[in-house]
């Protein structure tokens, strides 16, 4: 695998969880943030890319993780797991706190190279998905859109779903769009290649 020339992707661990700037790691390592609605498959994506079963907990209880979780990958790169949005049972106050935390990270973090924005390939992007994409475009943060759970859609319909998602997002042709499944590992090489391009 090409990425292993650069880094041992299996040499990964949780570094720390942060609620605000003062907790972020203080160095120059590049970071890739991962964002998406609760249950979209974010933890599964992280586990799949790191070749681990349970590093990023695959939780059946959506909205459980409320902090920014920093993963150290071979001391060369970090993944930053952004807590899932669009969880109905979260109060207005919690949601505002969540928004502030994410915004602070995304708009002020020099280490940030790109955001992997995960959307469920089966459905049209939610209002939150669209807002996240627009937010990233507004701040000119490079976006990698990853459409998850592709294994749940017949291959013959992939193009149709991809087009629908792109249309709803008002997708910028210069951004990357990756069809992904953590079940079949479809998109694994493309995801790593794309991420490494931003480092
Ligand atoms: N079939 C299928 N199920 C998936 C895939 N990715 C995640 N899931 C399932 O979707 C649910 C939520 O996944 P999780 O990774 O915890 O989502 P998160 O809340 O975004 O971190 C779990 O039951 C996963 O097993 C995928 O690519 N294919
Ligand atoms: Mg998760």
Q: Which residues of 156-166 are buried (b: 16+ CB within 10 A; e: fewer)?
A: eeeeebbeebb
What's the 175 CA to ligand 1 centre distance in angstroms?
Answer: 24
5: helix, coil or strand?
A: helix
Confidence of residue 4 (pLDDT cuts 50, 70, 90): low
Contact 148/181 with Cβ under 8 angstroms? yes
Q: Is 185 in the pocket of ligand 1 (CB under 6 A)?
A: no
Q: How many helices (H) and strands (E) does the chain have?
A: 6, 7
Ligand 1 atom 6, closest CA: 41
Confidence of residue 142 (pLDDT cuts 50, 70, 90): very high
Atom of ligand 1 nearest to the CA of 36: 20
What domains sit in the chain, N to C, each tagged with a CATH number?
Answer: 3-197 (3.40.50.300)
If one counts every other C-beta atom within 10 angstroms of the C-beta of residue 129, the result is: 25
List all residues 6 or more positions away from 5 whose beta carbon is below 8 Å from its beta carbon: none
Q: Is 183 in the pocket of ligand 1 (CB under 6 A)?
A: yes
Residue in this structure with the two tokens 């087009």, named with its chain if needed: 163
Ligand nearest to the CA of 40: 1
List all residues 6 or more positions away from 166 whose beta carbon is below 8 Å from its beta carbon: 177
Q: For ligand 2, a single-atom ion, which residues have Cβ within 5 Å?
A: 42-43
Tens-place pLDDT, residues 46-92: 999 999 888 877 555 554 557 899 999 999 999 999 988 766 567 78
Q: Is 111 in the pocket of ligand 1 (CB under 6 A)?
A: no
Looking at residues 18-26, what average pLDDT do you find? 94
Tens-place pLDDT, residues 38-47: 899 999 999 9
- Mean pLDDT of all residues belonging to the chain: 91
What's the 39 CA to ligand 1 centre distance in angstroms?
Answer: 6
Q: Is 36 in the pocket of ligand 1 (CB under 6 A)?
A: yes
The pLDDT score that the predictor gives to residue 42 is 94
Chain CA centroid to CA 63, Å: 15
Q: What is the pTM of this model?
A: 0.94
The pLDDT score that the predictor gives to residue 95 is 80
Contact 26/194 with Cβ under 8 angstroms? no
């Amino acid at each position: 695998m090409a990425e292993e020339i650069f880094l041992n992707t299996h040499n990964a661990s949780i570094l720390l969880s942060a609620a605000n700037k003062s907790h972020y790691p203080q160095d120059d390592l590049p970071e890739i943030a991962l964002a998406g609605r609760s249950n979209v498959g974010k933890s599964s994506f992280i586990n799949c890319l790191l070749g681990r079963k349970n590093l990023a907990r695959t939780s059946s209880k959506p909205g459980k993780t409320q902090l920014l979780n920093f993963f150290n990958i071979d001391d060369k790169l970090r993944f930053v797991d952004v807590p899932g949005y669009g969880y109905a049972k979260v109060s207005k106050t919690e949601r505002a706190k969540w928004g502030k935390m994410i915004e602070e990270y995304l708009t002020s973090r020099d280490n940030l190279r790109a955001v992997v924005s995960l959307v469920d390939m089966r459905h049209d992007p939610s209002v939150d998905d669209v807002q996240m994409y627009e937010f990233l475009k507004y701040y000119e943060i490079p976006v990698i859109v990853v459409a998850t759970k592709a294994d749940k859609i017949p291959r013959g319909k992939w193009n149709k779903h991809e087009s629908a998602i792109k249309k709803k997002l008002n997708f910028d042709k210069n951004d990357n769009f990756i069809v992904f499944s953590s079940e079949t590992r479809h998109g694994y090489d493309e995801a790593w290649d794309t991420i490494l391009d931003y480092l």
